[in-house]
Amino acid sequence: MSTQNTACKRLQIDLKRMLTEQIPGIYAFPTSDIYVWRGVIFGPADTPFEDGEFKLRMEFCAQYPFKASKVYFTTPIFHPNIQTICLDILSNRWSSTYDVLGILTSISVSSFLLFYLSKAPPADGKEAGKLLDGEWKK
């Protein structure tokens, strides 16, 4: 079986899992090209991201799942510590055991937990202070 057939079969399995093991607030489906998916993660309650709908583009190569996908936010997002999706499982800690649902869950948890857990100085301290002071609700 060629690697392209392996990737296509795996993406079909990933789609089936997305449909059967739905996680509220995390959705993804392939476009007309099985190697390009659109996803959406809804912002968690009680954060500046509440009611937010954050769209993503996922690009898979013929070597998937042996090579990580590329994932981009297509919705402009303000977060004091996020410029682009920079997640270890999409680079140096990639494993063929990760699937679409696992990738999106990791992005969701990593992106929104940073709001609560980050102790590092944010890229824009003044704007980050507004978030922490609750001014983001205005």
Three-class secondary structure assignment of 70-121? EEEECCCCCCCCCCCCCCHHHCCCCCCCCCHHHHHHHHHHHHHHHHHHCCCC
Q: pTM surpassing 0.85?
A: no
CATH assignment of the domain containing 119: 3.10.110.10
> Among 48, 51, 95, 104, which residue's Cα sits nearest to residue 73?
104
Query: Is 8 part of the annotated catalytic residue set?
Result: no
pLDDT, tens digit only, all 138 positions of the chain: 676 799 999 999 999 999 999 899 999 999 999 999 999 999 887 777 788 898 999 999 999 999 999 988 888 766 554 545 667 788 888 999 999 999 999 888 876 665 555 444 555 556 556 655 555 544
Domain of 36? 3-137
Q: How many domains does the chain have?
A: 1
Q: Which of 86, 109, 117, 132 is catalytic?
A: 86
